[in-house]
Amino acid sequence: MIENLYGIFGASGFGREVLPIVRGELGEDDFIYFVDLTRGKNKVNNVDVITYNDFLSVEAKNKKAVIAIADGVIREKIELDLIVAGIENISVIADNVVVMDDVSIGAGAILSPFVTLTSNIKIGRSFHANIYSYVAHDCIIGDYVTFAPSVKCNGNVVIEDNAYIGTGAVIKQGLPERPIVIGKGAVVGMGAVVTKSVKPGDVVFGCPAKSIKKGEE
């Protein structure tokens, strides 16, 4: 019987980037699948692609999930389904990730190569930090937050649940008594330079970042 069965949810780009990190965790009696709702292909990078129901039916002593899907709302839904099924959403952390001092990271995080987390940081569940991103001191990051590659989150920033920060975005450092806040479900566009707080659900873009779509009141 399989000792540890790993299911990487999402067989597209990010899933394929996470695959080598997960492979590094495999033991002799372990096995790995891609789990995809659409199951458009039978194999991806020499790994079988199966449906969620198939993943549930495979016999194994332990089942572990890695949710490699950028949309935080979808990640949250999948994690809730996994909790009901008794399957752990594990964290995957590349060998060269730098974690400094007093950093708390919730379950289900994916930290890609060259990510840096400095000091006095609190991070919620299922955080994704793609390659070359960093989080500086005294930041609080909620649940199901996604950083695309090369996000620069400077100190004293609060990012609420389900926010998405696009590739190359820069978030200016806040103040201890007045942090910059990225509201729940907000989207910061690629290359944006955020110099002030972003309201929940807003989409911001540009330098300096300005709202191009308002969230629901």
Q: How far apart are CA 149 and CA 168, in angstroms?
A: 6
Of the listed 63, 75, 125, 137, which one is catalytic? Answer: 137
- Write the CA distances from 122 to 21, 23, 46, 93, 139, integer angstroms: 23, 28, 37, 16, 7
Beta bridge partners of 44: 47
Domains of the chain, residue spans: 2-90, 98-207
The token pair that represents 76 in the structure block: 């949250």
Is-contact 98 81, C-beta < 8 A? Answer: no
> What CATH code would you report for 2-90?
3.40.50.20
Q: How far apart are CA 142 and CA 127, in angstroms?
A: 8
Q: What is the per-residue pLDDT for 215? A: 65
Q: What is the per-residue pLDDT for 119? A: 97
Q: How far apart are CA 167 and CA 174, in angstroms?
A: 20
pLDDT digits (tens, 9 = 90+) for 155-203: 999 999 999 999 999 999 999 999 999 999 999 999 999 999 999 999 9
Q: Show pLDDT as tens, one digit a residue, over the chain (217 residues).
A: 788 999 999 988 999 999 999 998 887 788 999 998 777 668 899 999 999 999 999 999 999 999 999 999 999 999 999 999 999 999 999 999 999 999 999 999 999 999 999 999 999 999 999 999 999 999 999 999 999 999 999 999 999 999 999 999 999 999 999 999 999 999 999 999 999 999 999 999 999 999 987 766 5
CA dihedral 24, 116, 45, 64 (to 10 degrees): 60
Q: What is the per-residue pLDDT for 40? A: 62
Q: What is the per-residue pLDDT for 183? A: 97
Active site residue 128: no
Q: How far apart are CA 88 and CA 102, in angstroms?
A: 25
Query: CATH for 98-207, among 2.60.40.10, 2.160.10.10, 3.30.450.20, 3.40.50.720?
Result: 2.160.10.10
Give yes or no on whether 2-90 and 98-207 have one common fold. no
How deeply is 59 buried, as exposed, middle or buried, from its count of CB atoms within 10 A (0-12, 13-18, 19+)? exposed
Q: Tell me if the bond preceding 113 is cis, omega within 30° of 0.
A: no
Beta bridge partners of 135: 117, 153
| Tokens 């007045």 belong to residue | 178
- Write the CA distances from 34 to 30, 45, 74, integer angstroms: 14, 10, 16
